[in-house]
């Protein structure tokens, strides 16, 4: 395949061919969603223009044979801001499969020397290619799920009659307990913490978000420009933002979304949250608000992912249970930044479902 080249994506040079490639690989229905997400990334990323490329493509003449995203982000690592990249959307034209194109494009990304702290939500072939190209495993985080509609949840999970008969009453009891706890937290005022919905993130709070990120050993940097692009301007997904304050001080935020219309699951998701490390009180207040609202809006379940032990204990106290299966998580070029032991421990990391690939690109299809 010496005639193929991995090159940085340029809109003017590759834009038309890339759209043809996407529609061929994904089909018309999924392409309709993905092209909106591509425009959101290429035209809206707050510092994408300053840190090209946003993706690499494998070309064959005037055709695109393969592509993978190379999204820029910043992470706070041991108190220092570090530029990083996130891999996503590894795709190969079916006509070119079996020729090593996927491996070549992943090899190329690793060879850039950029730090890749979070390649997640991969299918098995994509994961295996990353591993074959020298990406290393990080211990897998687990999604926690609170069932809000036991009967519908049991039906959708395909439980047999006997299993449903045993599971539904237990899940109904757990739901009632969770709602009692959540309402109790909200009614008590939870130490003067006020949680309110906001339309977008305010730039004046950027210093607070940076300070909170620094309280973890490693966490994605979050500011208004990045958060608003990611969560308030997405062309398909509709997020809800909750900010917590106490005594005039900002204490944290949660980003969540209701079930996707026409999605595979009638599931609400807490996509992102940020509090000072160990501030369980604030996280509890914001989680309580989300639980009550998700239930009132008819969600079948509510899911969240966290790498923090204190947060896991909090979610379990509400009745969240570990979801079956785990996420693959691979990183590369980490040696300059992290001790090896961090690959086997979740606690140093603050990672959420919003930190990597996922429904951003697919719209939940």
User: Mind spelling out the 3-state secondary structure of 133-147?
Assistant: CCCEECCCCCEEEEE
Half-sphere exposure of 18 (CA within 13 A, CB side): 22
**Is domain 5-137 classified as CATH 3.40.630.30?**
yes
Residue that is written with structure tokens 């009132």 in the block: 296
pLDDT of residue 358: 61
pLDDT of residue 140: 86
| Low-confidence stretches of the chain (pLDDT beneath 50) | 1
pLDDT of residue 223: 96
Closest CA to 273 of 313, 299, 307: 307
pTM over 0.95? The answer is no
d(CA 74, CA 206): 14
pLDDT of residue 120: 66
pLDDT of residue 364: 58
d(CA 132, CA 214): 33
Enumerate the domain spans of the chain: 5-137, 143-325
CATH class name, domain 143-325: alpha beta
pLDDT of residue 268: 93
pLDDT of residue 69: 92
pLDDT of residue 1: 43
What number of residues does the chain have? Answer: 365
Tell me if domain 5-137 and domain 143-325 are identical in fold: yes
**How many C-beta atoms surround the C-beta of residue 213 within 10 A?**
24
Say which residues have a Cβ less than 8 Å from residue 35's Cβ, sequence separation at least 6: 19, 22
pLDDT of residue 355: 79
Q: Is the peptide bond before 53 cis (omega within 30 degrees of 0)?
A: yes
pLDDT of residue 362: 65
Mind listing the pLDDT tens digit for each residue in 123-151? 889 999 999 999 999 998 889 999 999 88
Mind listing the pLDDT tens digit for each residue in 38-68? 999 999 999 999 999 999 999 999 999 999 9
pLDDT of residue 285: 97
d(CA 164, CA 218): 41
pLDDT of residue 326: 66
């Amino acid at each position: 395949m010496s005639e193929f080249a991995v090159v940085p994506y340029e809109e003017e040079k590759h834009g038309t061919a890339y759209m043809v490639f996407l529609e061929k690989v994904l089909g018309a229905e999924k392409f309709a969603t993905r092209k909106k997400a591509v425009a959101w990334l290429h035209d809206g990323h707050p510092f994408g223009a300053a840190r090209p490329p946003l993706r690499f493509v494998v070309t064959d003449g005037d055709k695109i044979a393969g592509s993978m995203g190379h999204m820029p982000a910043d992470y706070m690592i041991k108190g220092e801001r570090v530029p990083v990249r996130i891999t996503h959307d590894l795709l190969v034209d079916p006509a070119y499969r079996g020729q090593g194109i996927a491996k070549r494009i992943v090899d190329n990304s690793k060879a850039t020397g950029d730090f890749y702290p979070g390649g997640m939500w991969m299918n098995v072939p994509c994961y295996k290619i990353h591993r074959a190209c020298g990406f290393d495993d990080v211990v897998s985080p687990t999604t926690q799920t609170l069932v809000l509609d036991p009967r519908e949840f049991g039906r959708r999970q395909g439980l047999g009659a006997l299993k449903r008969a045993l599971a539904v009453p237990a899940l109904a009891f757990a739901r009632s307990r969770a709602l009692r706890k959540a309402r109790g937290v909200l009614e008590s005022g939870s130490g003067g913490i006020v949680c309110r919905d906001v339309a977008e993130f305010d730039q004046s709070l950027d210093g607070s978000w940076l300070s909170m990120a620094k309280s973890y050993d490693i966490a994605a940097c979050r500011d208004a420009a990045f958060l608003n692009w990611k969560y308030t301007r997405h062309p398909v997904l509709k997020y809800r933002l909750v900010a917590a304050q106490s005594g005039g001080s900002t204490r944290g935020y949660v980003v969540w979304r209701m079930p996707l219309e026409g999605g595979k699951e009638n599931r609400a998701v807490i996509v992102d949250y940020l509090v000072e490390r160990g501030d369980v009180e604030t996280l509890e207040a914001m989680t309580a608000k989300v639980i009550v609202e998700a239930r009132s809006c008819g969600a079948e379940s509510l899911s969240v992912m966290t790498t923090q032990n204190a947060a896991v204990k909090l979610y379990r106290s509400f009745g969240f249970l570990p979801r079956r299966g785990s996420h693959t998580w691979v990183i590369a070029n980490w040696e300059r930044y992290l001790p090896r032991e961090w690959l086997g421990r979740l606690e140093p990391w603050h990672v959420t479902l919003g930190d990597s690939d996922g429904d951003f690109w697919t719209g939940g299809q």
